[in-house]
Structure 1
Amino acid sequence: MPHSPAEKKRVLARVRRVRGQLDALERALDAGADCAPVLQQIAAIRGAVNGLMAGVLESHLREELVQAAATPEQRQAGIDSAVALVRSYLR
């Protein structure tokens, strides 16, 4: 989750752009558009979602690394959580 109002605004704007791209893809499919433009739109959506994911992941990791863990167990739990997020992102 974004950690500041400005960051939240940026993330929501990106989500709205992705929604717009999805709506355009739906309209293109309904209209029977050719495959090449449809594939190009899908690739653009994938890139937009990947950018959104990268931004939110970066924000989360920065927040996690800033918070000082009180114990070695908490530090390890934070590292494990970050590694799990990165692994799920890279799938």
Structure 2
Amino acid sequence: MSHSVADKKKLLNRVKRITGQSVALETTLQGEPDCLAVLQQVAAIKGAANGLMKEVLENHLREHLGANDLTNEQRSHEVEQVIHILKSYLK
């Protein structure tokens, strides 16, 4: 991943946010959780993960698939890899 330091910092901040939300969910579940609070935390984690996926996917598409020096075969291979990952992610 050849992103700039600013991009890496932004991605790491998103991961830290997801980690914090996961820890908060775990703590909630260890107590006497209210169902709506749990649902809200799960939704927040999913939203944060989706935001991370969008950011990394967008950067990948721009930097790797948008590269002018790829052969048609390399580009097709990259596209197939992204499709495979998206199918797995969207299950």
Task: Provide TM-score, normalisation by structure 1.
Answer: 0.84
Aligned-residue offset at 1:64: 1.4
Over 3 Å counting, the alpha-carbon distance change for 1:27 and 1:45 in structure 2 is: same
Q: Which runs of 5+ in 2 are unaligned?
A: none
Aligned-residue offset at 1:2: 5.8
Q: Which runs of 5+ in 1 are unaligned?
A: none
The 2-side partners of 1:2 and 1:42 are apart by: 31
Q: Tell me which residue corresponds to 2:61.
A: 61
The 2-side partners of 1:80 and 1:65 are apart by: 11
The higher-RCO structure (CA 8 Å, 6+ apart) is 1
Aligned-residue offset at 1:15: 0.4
Task: Provide TM-score, normalisation by structure 2.
Answer: 0.84
Over 3 Å counting, the alpha-carbon distance change for 1:27 and 1:12 in structure 2 is: same
The 1-side partners of 2:68 and 2:16 are apart by: 34
Report the more deviating stretch, 22-31 or 81-90. Answer: 81-90
Q: Tell me which residue corresponds to 2:88.
A: 88
